[in-house]
Structure 1
Amino acid sequence: MRRVCLTLPTNRACTATIAAVAEEAAYGAREFGVEVHLLILDSSPPADLADHRKAVAALPAAPGVVVHHLDEDRQRVFLGEVVAATGLTEADRLLDLMLPAGVSYGACTNRAFLLAEALGCASVHRRDSDSRYQHLDGEPVFPIHHELAALGRRAADVAGSVDRSRLDPRCADRTVALAGASFIGEPSVDVAGIRALDPEAYREIVGLSVPSGYPEIWRRNLIDEAFRGAGTAPFDTDRTTLTLVGPTRVDMCNVALGREVYGRVPLPPATDTIGTDYFLLHLVHAARLPGVLHNRHIVNYYTGERRSDAGFLAYQLRFAKYLLASAHLEAVYTGLAAAGDTLLDPTGKVRPSAVAALARESTLLDPAGNEARLDVLDRRYRSLGGRYATAAGLFAERRRRLLAEARSDMEDFALLVDAWAALTAHAKGTAVNHHPTPGTSPAPAVTP
């Protein structure tokens, strides 16, 4: 039976989301005859972790669903065994990159990838703790429907079951490697406040993430659409497109990837940096691997913590680090786009060595560009006043460190790419220590 991994990484209270994602898992198993491994990777504080354990224990048993709830201790044991089995000399460093002390959107998803390998899954379907599903006629609209319908199938065989195809016929024999949509609801609180206070400041700040060589009209459109998802229009009917999915059309709370992608290349493990977990979307697009873009958008919302003073500063720092990382990432993305089909080996699989080489090349960029970015942030944030001025002070205090991390994060990524084949190979033979939800049974590790 085909196994898939529906994963929910979390570091905060989300009992309602756990219940909702469990419903999606049950739907996927029931409607598609697959075995769904619901993988909750929990880095929450003790009180929230305890509530999550109760929520998981209360989940109704569902045929074809196996629930794995792993706190950081259990994740560390699993990762330690995998890393040790590789025999690589950088074992301690690799373990730190897989389970860092700080928040890492890439690292939490990389852990899901390795655990999915251990569980014998063919795909990973990611959701976030601050997500809700849309409803139509009283029933939830689950993205996993389109993900399971398309992933792993030849694009030519999927073409007849989607509403339209915009795929180059030369890619028709390739496997559908990605399925995804975006979110609806309020835009990112990290930047919405800037836009409300000073639209011109917003354009200059967000524009730091757009490559300088883009025509002005493209720049304006990219800035205008950034961080806004799919708008606010609710779901009314399915719309699906077989295409090379644009990375900006998909949100990481609403995406699924085949193991032919994540089994070859991980995500950048940078800490406290938004946006780096979108790397594989760019890779899939550049390598001309088919995908399905659908409109079962997740409903986005933000917790009170995100709006608090401490939460505000934490997310502004992550946003600033994203703007600095953008210089290096865009260099890699440019190289990926230029490589195109040559990113694939003769069997149609992504060549990790090409990705690692581009990541290392990006570390040679002149730091003057990021110096200028920090100057813009300092000027604009101070002009906004209030909490933004406080954030500007934090950026100034950490200036040297921020510049160094933008470079070292890419060095770490290249190191992880080099080690990834060994990590995934040994993950397949490593047991996942967990307590399954009553009514379910753990499955042995197998190769899909």
Structure 2
Amino acid sequence: MRRICLALPTNRPCTPAISATHREALYAAQHFGVEVHLLILDSSDAFAYRQHAAAVRELPAAPGVTTHHLDEAAQREFLYEVIDRSGADKPGLMLDLMLPSALSYGACTNRAFLFAAALGCASVHRRDSDSTYQAAAPGGEPVFPVHHELRTLGSTAGEAAAAVSALDLDARHTGKPVSMVGSSFIGEMSVDIEEMYRLDPETYYEVVGLWAPFDWPAARKREFAGDSFRGAGQEPFTADHSTLTLVDPMRVDMCNIAFHGVHESVPLPPATDTIGSDYFLIHLVHDATLPAVLHNRNIVNHYTPERRTDPGFMAYHLRFAKFFLSMHYLNFVYERMERAGESLLDDRHRVRGGAIVDLLWESSRLDPAQNVRRLDVLDRAYRRLGGRYAEFADRLAAGRERLIDEARRDVEDFALLTEAWPALIDAAGTTSPGRSRQRPA
């Protein structure tokens, strides 16, 4: 029986998300005959963890669904064994990159990839704890993305063509596997910067435009900024639609994604306190010309109250600033990946991790001058907005040199992890997922 991993990483109270994701697991098992491992990787504080554990105990047992709820101690125990078995040259560093003390969007998903390998899962389906499912109609059943994911993921594009609404794929790709199925979100922006737009739209466009490559003309940056972080807008789900294509990375989000194969070849950047550190594979699937399916079962995004507090604001905008600094290196890699195209694949249509490693090391040698200019733009923009934005600018100015150095070290760490990744995946495949709270059928 095909096994899949439905992953829910969290560092916040989210008992409703646990119950809702379990319902999606039941749907997958009942409608597609798969064995679902619902994996809750919990980095919450002790109080929230106990709430989650109680919620897991209350989940109904059902054929085909096993729930794993692991705190960081259990995750660390598993990682120790995997890293040791892999023979990694720098085991201490590998552990830090896989389970850092600071928040890391990429690292939490990388842990899900290794646990999926340990559980023998053919694919990983990721959800977020600050989002909910749409309903088909008022009072209707939830609209689960796994419906489209399991119809096509892992099959060849030629086989998947019969299971989608539309086909926008060159015939030369039909023998390649569908390596990603995804959609986006409706509701609040994926990045909490709506207030910035309300305060000063021109400053908003200037700041968000820092995501784009530096050499783009101003008009193109502005258009890019206007399309960024807004997902699928506000239009609710009415009927299914799916397209088999080379999916534009701007059309999908990591709260609503599933991967087959590609996550076993290349990990995500393990950078800490950096939003967007989990976007990399979305770009890789597109640039390596791997077929994917874009569907419209968008998830509803919402914000947690903590972001609205002054400490939450400062922490969040630090992650936002570090995202722009990371793009100095990642935009270089994305451009080179797109230029390389399907030469990034081997003769079995699997990504050649070594090619990505080479690009990462090359990018790490870039002159950091662009990041000095990015910080200059952020300083002026945040001071222009005033209030706590100006206060954040003071903090940013005090840490300029450290942040520039961290951005370079982050890409170096990503290169080291990518080098070690095949051995880590192989080692995970022979390692027990360890102690966890399980609710088998």
After TM superposition, the score normalised by the length of structure 1 is 0.96
Q: Which moved more, 1:210-219 or 1:58-67?
A: 210-219
- The alignment status of 1:57 with 2:41, answered yes or no, reads no
> What is the alpha-carbon distance in structure 2 between the residues aligned to residue 403 and residue 437 of structure 1?
43
Q: Which moved more, 1:64-73 or 1:389-398?
A: 389-398
Q: What is the deviation of 1:221?
A: 2.2
Q: Output the amino acid matched with 2:429.
A: K
> What is the alpha-carbon distance in structure 2 between the residues aligned to residue 343 and residue 389 of structure 1?
44
Contact 2:266 2:418 (8 Å CA) reproduced: yes
2:38 is matched with 38
2:312 is matched with 311
2:273 is matched with 272
Q: What is the deviation of 1:100?
A: 0.3
Q: Deviations over 1:293-334 (max 9, x none)?
A: 000000011111011111111110000000000110000001
- Of 179, 182, 190 in structure 1, the residue corresponding to residue 181 of structure 2 is 179
Q: Which moved more, 1:145-154 or 1:186-195?
A: 186-195
Q: Deviations over 1:8-41 (max 9, x none)?
A: 0000000000000000000001100000000000
- The alignment status of 1:202 with 2:204, answered yes or no, reads yes
2:349 is matched with 348
> What is the alpha-carbon distance in structure 1 between the residues aligned to residue 404 and residue 439 of structure 2?
49
1:366 is matched with 367
Q: What is the deviation of 1:232?
A: 0.5
Q: Output the amino acid matched with 1:29.
A: A
- Of 204, 221, 224 in structure 2, the residue corresponding to residue 222 of structure 1 is 224
Aligned partner of residue 4 in structure 2, secondary structure = strand
2:411 is matched with 410
Equivalent residues in 2 for 1:327-346, closer than 5 Å:
327-346=328-347
1:399 is matched with 400
1:76 is matched with 76
> What is the alpha-carbon distance in structure 1 between the residues aligned to residue 364 and residue 87 of structure 2?
27
Contact 2:191 2:229 (8 Å CA) reproduced: no
1:433 is matched with 434
Q: Deviations over 1:105-124 (max 9, x none)?
A: 00000000000000000000
Contact 1:26 1:65 (8 Å CA) reproduced: yes
Q: What is the deviation of 1:186?
A: 1.5
1:103 is matched with 103
Contact 1:266 1:416 (8 Å CA) reproduced: yes
RMSD: 1.0
Q: How many aligned positions are there?
A: 439
> What is the alpha-carbon distance in structure 2 between the residues aligned to residue 218 and residue 146 of structure 1?
33
- The alignment status of 1:131 with 2:125, answered yes or no, reads no
- The alignment status of 1:323 with 2:324, answered yes or no, reads yes
Equivalent residues in 2 for 1:229-308, closer than 5 Å:
229-258=231-260, 260-308=261-309
Contact 2:360 2:414 (8 Å CA) reproduced: yes
Q: What is the deviation of 1:219?
A: 2.5
Contact 2:167 2:243 (8 Å CA) reproduced: yes
> What is the alpha-carbon distance in structure 1 between the residues aligned to residue 406 and residue 248 of structure 2?
28
Contact 1:68 1:434 (8 Å CA) reproduced: no
2:167 is matched with 165
Contact 1:61 1:437 (8 Å CA) reproduced: no
Contact 1:190 1:312 (8 Å CA) reproduced: no
Aligned partner of residue 289 in structure 1, secondary structure = coil
> What is the alpha-carbon distance in structure 2 between the residues aligned to residue 19 and residue 84 of structure 1?
35
Q: Which runs of 5+ in 2 are unaligned?
A: none
Q: Deviations over 1:369-423 (max 9, x none)?
A: 0000001101110110111111111111111110001100000000000000110
Q: What is the deviation of 1:216?
A: 4.7
Aligned partner of residue 255 in structure 1, secondary structure = strand
1:47 is matched with 47
1:14 is matched with 14
Query: Percent sequence identity over matched residues?
Result: 57
Q: Deviations over 1:102-148 (max 9, x none)?
A: 00000000000000000000000000010100001311000000001
Q: What is the deviation of 1:189?
A: 5.3
> What is the alpha-carbon distance in structure 2 between the residues aligned to residue 399 and residue 142 of structure 1?
43
Contact 1:7 1:124 (8 Å CA) reproduced: yes
Q: Deviations over 1:209-251 (max 9, x none)?
A: 1113335543332110111111011000001000001111001
Aligned partner of residue 263 in structure 1, secondary structure = helix
Q: Output the amino acid matched with 2:104.
A: S
Contact 2:68 2:439 (8 Å CA) reproduced: no
> What is the alpha-carbon distance in structure 2 between the residues aligned to residue 422 and residue 136 of structure 1?
43
Contact 1:287 1:350 (8 Å CA) reproduced: yes
